[in-house]
Amino acid sequence: MIDYIMLPQYHFVYGLVVSLVLYFGFDVGALGCLIFLVATVGIDVDHYLYYVYRKRDWSLGNAIRWFMNQKKKLDKMDRKTRGEYYSGWYFLHGFESILVFGLFGFFWNGFWFLVFGFWFHLMLDWIDQASIMDRFDRLSSVYDFFKYERLKNVERP
């Protein structure tokens, strides 16, 4: 499911499996695998920052509860209706962040593992999104920012 449904623990499990394959199957070093794994889940820091911005509250527990309530609202909607809503704008969820960190990869190879972790996370989101919505998000965070102005926020249906 997409990010508001694809919970961090699932990203972690899938990321851990790929990290182990990289480590044992492709002789990628432990640091590269760790960076990949952290990036696979760490990209979701933009969800927390969105919550802090919207609610002016730094509580991680409150943020988790808030997103779970959004998930419950969206789960109650049919596929077509769900496509009329958005749950938030997440600036790291697009090719722009991959491009920026990819440029840093020319200065330190570790950034390539971060890029691959972000890309892997987005691929999981896209696969889940295709199964539950009639809309495609998170290819470009800039495009999504403007597109979301035309949609309803799940917090204010």
Give per-residue pLDDT as tens, 3-56: 345 788 899 999 999 999 999 999 899 999 999 999 999 999 999 999 999 999
What pLDDT, on the 0 to 100 scale, is given for residue 4?
43
Of 152, 126, 131, residue with least CA distance to 79: 131
- Cα angle 55, 80, 136 (rounded to 5 degrees) comes to 70
Question: Which residues fall within 8 angstroms of residue 110, CB to CB, at 6 or more apart?
Answer: 31, 32, 35
**How high is the mean pLDDT of the chain?**
87
The one-character DSSP state at 149 is G
Domain segments of the chain as ranges: 8-153
Question: Which residues fall within 8 angstroms of residue 151, CB to CB, at 6 or more apart?
Answer: 84, 85, 86
What pLDDT, on the 0 to 100 scale, is given for residue 127?
85
How many other C-beta atoms lie within 10 A of the C-beta of residue 14? 18
Q: Predicted confidence band at 156 (pLDDT cuts at 50, 70, 90)?
A: low
In 3-state terms the chain splits into helix, strand, coil percentages (rounded to 5) of 65, 5, 30
Give per-residue pLDDT as tens, 70-121: 888 888 888 888 878 888 888 999 999 999 999 999 999 999 999 999 999 9
- Cα angle 43, 150, 79 (rounded to 5 degrees) comes to 70
Q: Predicted confidence band at 2 (pLDDT cuts at 50, 70, 90)?
A: very low
